[in-house]
């Protein structure tokens, strides 16, 4: 009798979960999440925007609001405050476990730019904190390349020697 109750309870739970999925409870894809963020940003709907941002991005948003002496809702409602008000051309999507990237066209360079997303609480969230970390890393790498190019002499310059005339060379005059 006890096994019958457990089996019945398990069957009811399984039917409940199957029923939930069939009535339209569906997780957005990363691309759909980015599009939803675009729509929420156009409407300046700060509550909807926040639901689409990762926890790390929300921390950055709160810090930016504090620095601007305002709150995050007001910051998102400013003319240039909400992310992705203009959605660039989407060129692809890649999912690897609980992380994903949506590749978009960089309007300045016409190249590709990867927008990272993370899965939090079963939903895809735009991770602008990860994007900024990646941007800083790429910037630092470019700066190091530039610095290395300035420090390292070219081969033609490194083999040149400078001859000091004898009258200006005290070591040569002591003989």
The tens digit of pLDDT for each residue in 89-135 reads 999 999 999 999 999 999 999 999 999 999 999 999 999 999 999 99
The most confident of the ranges 42-51, 80-89, 160-169 is 42-51
Higher-confidence position of 149 and 54: 54
Residue 167 has pLDDT above 70, yes or no: no
- By the 8 A CB rule, do 34 and 118 touch? no
Residue 166 has pLDDT above 90, yes or no: no
28 CA to centre of own chain: 18
Helix-helix angle 128-151:55-67, to 10 degrees: 80
Residue 60 has pLDDT above 80, yes or no: yes
Query: What per-residue confidence (pLDDT) applies to 81?
Result: 84
* pLDDT recorded at residue 13: 37
What CATH number labels 25-150? Answer: 3.10.450
Q: Is residue 65 within 8 Å of 75, Cβ to Cβ?
A: yes
C-beta separation of 124 from 30 below 8 A? yes
Tell me the C-alpha distance between 97 and 90, whole Å.
Answer: 21
Which residues sit opposite 100 in a β-bridge? 95, 117
Query: Could you give the dihedral angle defined by the CA atoms of residues 68, 69, 74 and 76, in that order, rounded to the nearest 10 degrees?
Result: 20
How many angstroms separate the CA atoms of 44 and 40, rounded?
A: 6
**Distance between CA atoms of 171 and 175, rounded to whole angstroms?**
8
pLDDT tens for 2-14 read 544 443 444 333 3
Q: Edge-to-edge strand order for the sheet containing 99-105? A: 90-96, 99-105, 112-120, 123-126
Highest-confidence segment of 140-144, 158-162, 167-171: 140-144
Q: Which two tokens stand for residue 42?
A: 């156009």
Domain extents in the chain: 25-150
């Amino acid at each position: 009798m006890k096994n019958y109750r457990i089996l019945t309870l398990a069957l009811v739970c399984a039917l409940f979960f199957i029923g939930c999925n069939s009535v339209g409870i569906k997780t957005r894809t990363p691309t759909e999440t980015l599009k939803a963020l675009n729509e929420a940003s156009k409407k300046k709907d700060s509550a909807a925007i926040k639901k689409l941002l990762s926890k790390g991005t929300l921390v950055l948003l709160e810090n930016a609001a504090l620095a601007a002496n305002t709150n995050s809702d007001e910051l998102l409602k400013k003319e240039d405050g909400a992310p992705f008000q203009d959605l660039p051309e989407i060129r692809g999507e890649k999912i690897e476990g609980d992380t994903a990237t949506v590749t978009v066209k960089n309007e300045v360079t016409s190249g590709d730019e990867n927008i990272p997303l993370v899965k939090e609480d079963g939903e895809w969230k735009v991770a602008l904190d990860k994007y900024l970390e990646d941007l800083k890393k790429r910037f630092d790498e470019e700066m190091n390349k530039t610095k290395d190019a300035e420090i390292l002499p070219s081969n033609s310059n490194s083999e040149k020697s400078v001859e000091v005339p004898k009258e200006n060379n005290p070591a040569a005059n002591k003989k």
